[in-house]
Structure formats: structure tokens, C-alpha cells
Amino acid sequence: MGICNSKSSTATKPTNLYAPREEIKEEKPPNVENNTPNHHQQQQQLGQKQKEDLEAGKRSPFFPFYSPSSAHYLFSKKSPAKSSNSSNSTPRRFFKRPFPPPSPAKHIRAVLARRHGSLKSNESAIPEGNEDENVSGLDKSFGFSKSFLSKYELGDEVGRGHFGYTCAATIKKGDLKGQKIAVKVIPKAKEHAPAIHEAHGALDDLPIDRRARHRESSHNDPGAMTKAIDTDEHSIPGPRGKMTTAIAIEDVRREVKILRALTGHDNLVKFYEAYEDHDNVYIVMELCEGGELLDRILSRGGKYTEDEAKAVMVQILNVVTFCHLQGVVHRDLKPENFLFVSKDENSQLKAIDFGLSDFVKPDERLNDIVGSAYYVAPEVLHRSYTTEADVWSIGVITYILLCGSRPFWARTESGIFRAVLKAEPSLDEPPWPSLSSEAKDFVKRLLNKDPRRRMTAAQALSHPWIRNYSEVKVPLDILIFKLMKAYMRSSSLRKAALRALSKTLTEDELFYLKEQFSLLEPNKNGSITLDNIRVALIKNATDAMKESRVHDFLASLNALQYRRMDFDEFCAAALSVHQLEALERWEQHARCAYDLFEKEGNRAIVIEELASELGLSPSVPVHAVLHDWIRHTDGKLSFLGFVKLLHGVSSRTLAKVQ
């Protein structure tokens, strides 16, 4: 991590980059008159140098042997979440480990700078895959129609994003002549915008949530949304066009592909056509004249009533559930990316900007870090995520609607990422004590840092806080197919354990499962087969579902071709053990389920048979892994073994033993 220099080591003294600024001093050159010091003088100089290094280490807030890392600032401040301290920072801390962990902020800067073609010559780049560094050789021809200017007349700019800007436009001819539409313009070459408000200083080169900049001098007033969110007056000068890398070009292709494929939902912006010429790509969509959700939040002083927040969340959850069922993850959900169709107070809300979206196949996990700082999910920073990352962003939006402040706050992107990874959102400060317990539970279950325990968007629509609002209809959830697939591959012993657990579910917990079962349209005797699942997928299918290969789930459920599944078994197959663990009453669920299992399914079993039931390979040390699963008194499954059986043997458990 240091810089190699060809000069003699006596020419310059290495400085401690973590020392305060006044401690970094320039070392005077050695005395040229004494070019051949004797051995005693050399020893004295070496001893003096070691003493000075030791003193510098004592004064430095970090150990002197730290290598320079961009992570030191990330871990030098406490998160503002759940903190009433008005000071800007806390004293720096020492760590037991010799080096701080890698900074997610540094990696995001490198990834997004490369994605947008703004990586500087002295910035280190982390290889991200198939990247074409030869900008001049990039193929920027998309095969779109080239007749845009003959059909449309561009008007004023109405919005600006990371990849381009949006203008109002008018149709010139045809049956729809005079109709207003919106056009997203993505320049093919770098185009420099005028320097706006340069007095504000150079901000971090991080194109994530540029509008989300804090104005206040301290975080004493996190509830003042009008002060906490900056608007376009702090626009960042610099390149507007981003199509200078192979990744950026692929992003544009994928955005158009997703917009073409996703059709038929009321809360999704309508896509009309894509065009191109030598200079730009033009994406033609419906014009939403009601403004951004962010603008309405600001106009209300940052606070919605619970009913007003529900009206917004129902629409957001519906469109996100639809996208997830099609195998599309948005990856940049935030108030700026939801537009109202009109200025009417009860106007319909539309999801826009699929520039960072992607298809995600069954059992696939994405690893590229994209999104907006305040809304990015923890697993995105850990580079392993799927559709649950969108649900986290919805949780952040809900938190903002209900209290007018962000759940994770810091003055820098690095601080925000640290808060997202480590801090818990505060639900103790006003107005949270005055809000309903259902609203607080709703937010908690959306902002669970473990994506396995987080609600899906469809489950959020089934939550007691929101399901009774205006007769909400729960759409089909992609999660049930994932859980049914795992169930069908389970051993008979694990299926018996899941059936016992399903019998302990409350009416609130059964509501979601009843809705999902009815959407599969069971036959007259109240059971489903593979045909029911196939018909339900076809009924909800778009071209996006084909691209993301959602129908691959049918192969894993092929056993249902020869038998039926009633509602009781469906509950066992479609319940999530991880999500139940996130509930306060989990211990009660597990104990009651174990009592039922003892009466109906528990039996004496030897370790070797249990290993066979779980499908463990002969190379696994079964006695070391499973010794505490079985009671020594009667050879039956213990309570600990029962709970572990509900999850199955994880690769992490096997790794610990081996």
C-alpha cells in the first residue's frame, strides 16, 4: 500500500499518514560534508530515528505500523443513529486487529467511477469483470430506430439523473399528434456541464444519491427533512454523459430491455420506444407531471400521517412485488424514483429509472455494488444480494415518510455505509412514541439487516399495519416458489418438523399463506398440483419472466405432477423459518412445535441415519456435527436438534467443524 521510491532510504523519512497534520514534517537532507559517517554515528542516527518514530506513534491516534487505508475515517466516528450526542465526532478508537477492515466506500467509488467512465489516472481500480478500457473502440450502436427527431420535438428539461437527463417532448405527427411525452436522453459521449455553485467545494466523486446532501452544521435536528435533504442547488459540475465504458453501454442496453419486458402494471411508468442517433440514446416514456415523491415529502415538512404513508406504500409495494415476480430487481429505489402522474393530491404513483436494474435468476445472487447511499442495503455492501435489497430501500422510504428523517445518517458516504452496516434505526425519538406499534413493527421487519429474516414486498402488503387499508390485494410472491423448492428437496424428518411448526402459526401469520394459496387457484377439493403453479405463473408472466428464467422453478416442483398438496402441507412448505425467528414470539413457536413433534414425528434415530436423512456426504464428520442433535437418554431428536433440523445443516456449520 506504500509508494515505492528509487531514491535512497536516507533521502526522505517515511511519514505517519495517520498522524495529525502538524506532526507531518519535512525531513532535512543529511549533512553533505560528512558523507562517510563512522559506525558509532550510524548507530546513534538509527537510535534517534527509532525514538522519533516511537514518539510519533504515541501521538498518532492509530498504531504507526498501519498501512494507509481509506477505511480509517469510516471507523473513526460513531454512527449518529440512536445517538443524542450533538458533537460531530467521538474520539478515535483502537482495534485489536492490526489492520482496519476494507472500506466499502472505497470500493463503491472505484466501481461507480469505472461504470461511469470517470476513473482518474491515479485511482486504483478493482477488476470488475469484462471491462473494455479502450473507449475509442467501444460499439455504441444499439440497433434502435434513428427517426426520433422526425417524430418528436424536444422541450424543456424536467429532470436529471446519473446517466442522463429527461425532457418533456411533443409528438409531431400521427393519431397522437400534440400529445406530451417524456424522453430520457443518454449522451453517447462525455458532455461537460457548466460549473454550478463551485463555491460549495469539491464533493466526493461518488455518483450515489447526489441530491441527498446535508445542509445543517450538526445532526441535532435530524427530523427537519427540509434541511436534511438538499435539492438541485448543489448540482455537481462535471461530465453528464456516462457512456464511456463497456459496462455503461451494457447498462443502457439492459435498461431498455427491462422497460420493454416489464409491461402491464399500473404503478410502472409506460415505455413507448427507444431511439438513437450519433450523439444520444432516447428512451420515450409517458410524462408524469405530478413531480417526485421527494418533492411532496419536502412540501409537507417531511412528515406524513400513518394513513397517508400507507397510501404511498401500497403503491410502491405493489409495483416492487410485480418486478420481483418477474425476476427483476430495481436496485435504486428512493423517493426521487417515484413520480406522481398529476398534481392531484391522490394522484397515482409510478416507478421510474431502471438504469441500475437487472434480471436475477432463481438461486442467483448479484455482487456489483450500485444504488444510492442512504437507501443501499447491507448485503449490497457485502456483495451478495438478490431482490431483498429492494425491500430494505422500501423500509428506508417508509421510515422517512413516518418521521421525516433518515434512519442512517452521516456527513460522508463512508459514514453512511458504516451506519447501514452497524447501526440500528432509532424508534425511540419523536414522533415514534406517538405512532402505532404496528407501524413500528412494519419498519423493523423491513429494516432487518439479515435479508433472510426481512419481509418480502408481498408479505409487507399482508402486514397488519397495511393490509386493511382500502382493501389491499396481496399479489403472488416469488418467495413461495423458493421455499416450496427447498421443501420438496427436504428429508421426511425435516418435512415432519416443518409441519409441526406450521401448526403453531397465528391468524396474522396464516393470512399471507392463505392469500398465496388462493392465488394458486386450488381445485374443488382444496389442493394444488403442478398445473396450478404453472397456470399461476403464466397468468402473471411478462417477457421479463422469460429472461430471468422464473419458470425454472417448475422443474424443481416436478414431484407435484404426480400428487396433490393441501393447504396444511402448503403452510409447511411455504413458511420461512428465518422470518419466524425474527419475531419476538419465536421461542414460543419453537417450543410448541417441538411438543407437537414429540407426539407425532419424533423417534429414536442414530447419528448415521440422521446424517443420511440430511443428505450429508461420507466425508463430513457426522459425530462432530450432529452429536448435540440427539438426546443421550432415549436417542431421539433434542430441542436443539429440532431447531437446527428446521434450518438444515448449513455450509457454515460444516466449515467450523472441518
Tell me the sheet residues that pair with 274. Answer: 283
Using CB atoms within 10 Å of the CB of residue 28, give its burial: 0 to 12 exposed, 13 to 18 middle, 19+ buried: exposed
The H-or-E segment that residue 377 falls in is: none
SS3 355: coil
CA atoms of 604 and 294, how far apart (whole Å): 60
Residue type, 192: H
Catalytic site residues? 332
Give the Cα separation of 342 and 288 in Å (integer): 6
CB contact at 8 A, 374 and 212: yes
Q: Which amino acid belongs to residue 471? A: E
β-strand partners of 166: 159, 184
Give me the phi and psi of 32, to 5 degrees please.
-70, -15
Which residues, listed in sequence order, are joined to residue 366 by a DSSP beta bridge?
A: 385
Q: Is 96 annotated as a binding residue?
A: no
Measured CA to CA in angstroms, residue 106 lies from 214, 251, 459 at distances of 21, 22, 35
Q: How many CB atoms lie within 10 A of CB 55?
A: 12
Residue 64 parent element (H or E): none
Distance CA 548, CA 357 (A): 12
Residues 6+ apart with CB under 8 A from 612: none
Strands (E) across 484-616 are located at 527-528, 565-566
Angle between helices 104-115 and 413-422 (to 10 degrees): 120
Annotated binding site for ATP: 184
